[in-house]
Structure 1
Amino acid sequence: MTDIRNVDVIAPNFKRRLSGVTSTIVQLVPAQVKLGLRIAVLGPGLPDGAGLPKISFGALTGLWRAPAGRTHRIWHARRNNEMGFGLFLRGVLRMPLKLVFTSAAQREHSAYTRFLIRRMDAVIATSDRSASFLKVPFRVIRHGVDLDAFHPPQGHDDTMEATGLPGRHLIGCFGRIRHQKGTDLFVRAMIELLPPYPDWTAVICGRATASHAAFADGLKAEIAAAGLSERIVFMGEVPDVKVWYRRLALYVAPSRNEGFGLTPLEAMASETAVVASDAGAYAEMIAPGETGAVTPAGNYEALRDAIRPYLADPQMTARHAAEGLALVRRTFALENEAKAVNAVYESLK
């Protein structure tokens, strides 16, 4: 555990199960540490190691005394319960804290959430769309991707051949298997599109929780009925999804709704073209006709029609993959996000 006396910023994570917010913390905090920020995480559901300095709840008693040379610490919340706890520490226990909130919500906030947000010292929006629902001053800081972890293919293990699957080109859809993620839209498109393109195989990486098992079983039954079980393959939860991004020629993100959504950036950083819905911030990541395509969320026909040209023209797919890699390196490096967030902290001195 990190000594609270050496911590200037606390990033709480008050959720045990893995979520997009948790993944953001796991990626961003080590990048902030590399820039010299004295930050620590707090809460369950965070992996050991991974460059994550941690403090315990017991260490919070040390918050009554500000770090040497400072008048306060930063409490950076990303959920309502984390904002509420920060307000309790500052308002009730009178601990010297400045409160920061990052909003990724793509909807109108509840009255309670608006109440909490109005009491923050600084607010960050992860996209222009999430910013449009805020009623307070904010700064847009888009998420970045770790370009060391997500990178183009480097060897045989990063190729389609290494999978042992049939065909020459791989198309994939990653994430939890559920209606919200649009897994059914992807499967439906693959059943319709793959037969005329024998060089392509589709993979779906991710798990179906118990409440979504029947949904996943129904999709597998549809694939079997179409005689495509060898070409549309459910991989389950793979040990390392990063290598699967590198094996793909095309990644599809068909979500019906998202908070932000990092998977298109992870794919593009792996030099993979992307077709995505306009859920979350996907549309702000992709240059249509250059790095991929964007379709209305939940619109099956638009998604299918956007995928088809990539299957028909692998050379175009490769060009868009290369352009996507260049775009991510210019605009969506994780280090840029870390620098921008750190600058918000500094503005609160």
Structure 2
Amino acid sequence: MHICLSDGWGGLEMYPSRIIPELAAQGWQVHALALGDSRVARSLDDAGVPTLTARSRGSALFGVRRWLEYLARHDIRLLHCHKSSDLRLAALLATLRPRLKVVFTDHMGVTRPKKDLYHRWAYGRVSRLLSISEATRRRNVKAFALPAERIQRLYLGIDPAPLAPRLDAGERRALRTSLGLPASATTIGVAGRLTPGKGQRVFVEALARLIAEHPALDVHGVIIGGLSAEEGSREEYVAELEALVAEQGLSQRITFTGFRRDLARLFEVLDVVCVPSRNEAFGLTVIEAMAAGKAVIGSRSGAIPELIDAHSGRLADPESASEWAAAMLELAQDGELRRRLGEEARRRVKQHFLLSQHVEGLTQVYDDVLAGRPAV
């Protein structure tokens, strides 16, 4: 059973509905527990996953008897959690039903030690802690009171097929026009929730510097992401970005698209994709852009340097607008370089970051945990 008691909506919350159908296709009988009327619950329903719901995280704890009866009735022997708050419930269930095994995926990257009595009890029930990058695994080894061999790196993965280009030249022109993008400009975009940690501010500052220093360069910025709290963004931060764009005189040079469900198609009208996040635990947007064959500039921080090498993209300091401007300039001026980087990026995704590879690794973890075998 996958447990995800989150009312948010990001990569963590999307994970169960992406993974469970893949597990089911391999013969696993997978159930889920989510908050009622959350986007997680709706995504699981849409994926056809048998899903229990709780009104709140607190009520989930008070529903222990119900969950234990359900686990026994369906002979569920493994719980997979995705948030530290989920682990409270999973650890309690495993304490009351000792045959249960617990797997926990750290999607966020721990930022402080968790070795007090509560965390020793809760994480002591975890048979395997999965880190989604080497950067997070190193932090986890230091932060948790767990033997290092029970903390395992397992990269996330994607299906690259939906990200392959599909639009013909006319459709790309029409999409550019609908977004208000100049026909001839080199487009440089950033996609993600509009929050300070995602780095859109340094993106705007770098683009302002690039345009000021190279006024003849025909470039246009694109900021993709919801503009409201309901769409996962911080509205005060959105207002700051819009004010910064106006202050820099870039209102005609940067487009805010708002929330979009067609990111794969938007990649087709971007020449360069930037991911200036300060501390990504993994970086799904990075590998999605790579799978789309885009030249990517990523932050030289967190897990992103594990995803991009010198042959498949560029890295820049997430705090340095000048470094971002320099990388933007290099790629904006050289279409052939963008093409080569994009082709190598596609190959790199297929070699290291496929969803099928992730699921293969995950099922091996499940098998090992249920059989009591140590991590390899």
| In the alignment, structure 1 residue 204 sits paired with structure 2 residue 219 | no
TM-score by length of 2: 0.81
Identity of aligned residues (%): 25
After superposition, what is the alpha-carbon deviation per residue over 1:22-70, rounded to whole angstroms, capped at 9, x for unaligned? 1222322222223332222220332345434132145652212563xxx
8 A Cα contact 1:99 1:120, kept in partner: yes
Match of 2:86 among 82, 85, 99: 82
1:242 corresponds to: 264
Distance 1:199 1:217 in 2: 26
Give the aligned partner of residue 63 of structure 2: none
The question of 1:190 aligning with 2:207 is answered: yes
C-alpha distance after superposition, 1:157-196 (max 9, x if no partner): 7635522110343211011112211110001111121353
| Superposition deviation, residue 222 in structure 1 | 2.9
1:63 corresponds to = 71
Looking at structure 2, the residues matched to 16 and 151 of structure 1 have their Cα atoms a distance apart, in angstroms, of: 31
**Aligned with 2:205: secondary structure?**
helix
Contact 1:268 1:321 in 2 (8 A): yes
Letter of the 2:200 partner, please give it: T
Change (3 A) 1:157 1:12: farther
Alignment correspondent of 1:339: 360
Code of the residue aligned with 1:201 in structure 2: it is H
Q: Which residue of 2 is the match for residue 43 of structure 1?
A: 34
1:25 paired with 2:33, answer no
Correspondence for 1:163 among 135, 151, 176 = 176
Residues 325 and 247 from structure 1, CA distance in 2 versus in 1: closer, same or farther, beyond 3 angstroms? Answer: same
Q: How does 1:294-313 map to 2 (within 5 A)?
A: 294-313=315-334
Shift in alpha-carbon separation, 1:261–1:106, aligned structure 2, 3 A: farther
CA contact (8 A) 2:3 2:32 kept: yes
1:180 aligns with 2:197: yes
With over 3 angstroms needed to count, the CA separation of the structure-2 counterparts of 1:36 and 1:170, relative to structure 1, is: farther
Deviation at 1:20, TM superposition (A): 2.3
Counterpart of 2:296 (choices 271, 274, 280) is 274
Q: Which amino acid aligns with 2:339?
A: A
Larger helix fraction of residues: 2
Q: CA offsets per residue over residues 183-213 of structure 1, 9 Å max, x none?
A: 1000111112135354322110112445833
1:134 has 2:140 as partner: yes
Paired residues of 2:312 and 2:341 also in contact (CA < 8 A): yes
CA distance in 1, matches of 2:88, 2:99: 15
State the alpha-carbon separation in 1 of the partners of residues 46 and 222 from structure 2: 28
Question: Equivalent residue for 1:7?
Answer: none
Tell me if the contact between 2:94 and 2:125 (Cα under 8 Å) persists in the aligned partners: no
Aligned equivalents of 1:280 and 1:270: distance in 2?
A: 22
Unaligned runs of 5+ in 2: 54-65, 142-146, 372-376
1:211-252 per-residue CA deviation (whole Å, 9 max, x = no partner) reads: 833332232233234332222111111232221123211110
State how far apart, in whole Å, the 2-side matches of 1:294 and 1:230 are.
27
Deviations 1:269-317 (A, max 9, x none): 11111101133321111012x1111223323322222222001112211
Q: Residue 110 of structure 2 contacts residue 140 of structure 2 at CA under 8 Å; is this kept in 1? A: no
Contact map agreement 1:103 1:126 (CA 8 A) in 2: yes
Gaps of 5+ in 1: 1-9
SS of 2:244 mapped into structure 1: helix
Structure 2 residue 312 is matched with structure 1 residue 291: yes
Give the aligned residue type for 1:21: L
Q: Which residue of 1 aligns with 2:61?
A: none
Distance in 2 separating the partners of 1:107 and 1:42: 26
Could you tell me how far 1:153 is from its partner in structure 2? 4.1
The aligned counterpart of 1:5 is none
Residue 40 of structure 1 contacts residue 52 of structure 1 at CA under 8 Å; is this kept in 2?
A: no
Contact 1:109 1:133 survives alignment (8 Å): no
Which amino acid in 1 is paired with 2:303?
A
Distance 1:239 1:228 in 2: 26
| 3-state secondary structure, aligned to 1:39 | coil
User: In 2, Cα distance between the equivalents of 1:119 and 1:158?
Assistant: 53
Report the equivalent of 2:284. 262
Asked if 1:321 corresponds to 2:374, the answer is no
C-alpha displacement of 1:100: 0.5
